[in-house]
């Protein structure tokens, strides 16, 4: 079995993102919103669980999680963390690559299996189109259930401003291009797409209604600029507070590093 591009990042992911000040700010904003929709004893399907930080948080709040990822390296770390924390009975970890959605071996869960579906920090950006995925998610989700996704959008003002300031026009506007190739730390290539809000809503509209939008990472910079947060902690503490206050308003969810979108399954 070939390795996944993110396997090489698994061991350092928490130290480089999850456990940083910036990572805690961003994940905290997401968790504050999902806590309004996911309740104790809900069964939640998580796509792209990474090292299990969100799955653990949900388990700590009484939620039952099926946490999936295409990277065995990420899953191995997530499972160890769940065991050490004593939440193995509340989290099922499964290898699952939703990029194989048109494959005959594509994985299926029973109809109406879950009360909620969740994907954080750009996992769905690995698909050029999510229409087929939306159809399957609608089958697995109970009527009236919520699907919450955190997506890297095409217009991140922090990224544009940062790279323009450093004279890098190509990187400043890279999200405007469809299907760009990123090279990860293990020299593996990964193709990434940056769907607009309009495109994502269109892909999910046959089965889901959009009921909420929020910006994640508005005044806080993208994760690769964590050093700025460490250098100016007071400034970015204020920025984090502004993010919480303004994330639901236009145009802030439109110009942020990620946008969070809440869908409700149609009857």
Q: How confident is the model at residue 1 (pLDDT cuts 50, 70, 90)?
A: very low
Please tell me whether the overall predicted TM-score, pTM, comes out greater than 0.75 for this model: yes
Q: What structural domains and CATH numbers belong to the chain?
A: 7-265 (3.40.50.150)
Tens digits of residue pLDDT in 139-162: 999 999 999 999 999 999 999 999
Average pLDDT score over the chain:
94
Q: What is the mean pLDDT of residues 7-33?
A: 95
pLDDT of residue 102: 67
Q: What is the mean pLDDT of residues 34-47?
A: 98
Tens digits of residue pLDDT in 179-204: 998 887 667 788 999 999 999 999 99
**One-letter-per-residue 3-state SS of the chain:** CCCCCCHHHHHHHHHHHHCCHHHHHHHHHHHHHHCCCCCCCCEEEEECCCCCHHHHHHHHCCCEEEEEECCHHHHHHHHHHHHHHCCCCCEEEEECCHHHCCCCCCCCCCCCCEEEEEECCCHHHHCCCCHHHHHHHHHHEEEEEEEEEEEECCCCHHHHHHHHHCCCHHHHCHHHCCCEEEECCCCCEEEECCCCHHHHHHHHCCCEEEEEEEEECCCCCCHHHHHHHHHCHHHHHHHHHHHHHHCCCCCCCCCCCEEEEEEEECC
pLDDT of residue 3: 79
């Amino acid at each position: 079995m070939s390795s996944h591009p993110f396997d090489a990042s698994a061991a350092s992911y928490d130290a480089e993102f999850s456990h940083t000040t910036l990572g805690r700010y961003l994940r905290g904003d997401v968790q504050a919103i999902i806590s309004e929709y996911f309740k104790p004893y809900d069964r939640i399907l998580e796509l792209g669980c990474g090292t299990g930080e969100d799955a653990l948080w949900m388990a700590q709040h009484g939620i039952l999680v099926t946490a999936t990822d295409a990277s065995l390296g990420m899953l191995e770390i997530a499972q160890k963390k769940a065991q050490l924390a004593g939440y193995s009975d509340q989290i099922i970890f499964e290898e699952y690559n939703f990029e194989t959605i048109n494959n005959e071996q594509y994985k299926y869960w029973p109809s109406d299996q879950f009360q909620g579906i969740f994907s954080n920090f750009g996992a769905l950006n690995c698909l050029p189109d999510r229409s087929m995925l939306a159809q399957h998610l609608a089958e697995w989700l109970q009527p009236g259930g919520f699907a919450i996704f955190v997506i890297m959008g095409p217009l991140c003002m922090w990224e544009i401003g940062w790279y323009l300031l450093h004279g890098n026009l190509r990187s400043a506007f890279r999200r405007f291009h469809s299907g760009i190739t990123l090279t990860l730390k293990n020299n593996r290539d990964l193709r990434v797409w940056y769907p607009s809000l309009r495109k994502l809503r269109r892909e999910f509209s046959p089965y889901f209604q959009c009921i909420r939008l929020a910006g994640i990472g508005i005044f806080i910079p993208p994760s690769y600029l964590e050093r700025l947060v460490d250098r100016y902690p007071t400034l970015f503490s204020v920025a984090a507070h502004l993010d919480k206050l303004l994330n639901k308003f236009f145009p802030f969810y439109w110009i942020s590093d990620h946008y969070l979108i809440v869908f409700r399954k149609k009857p």
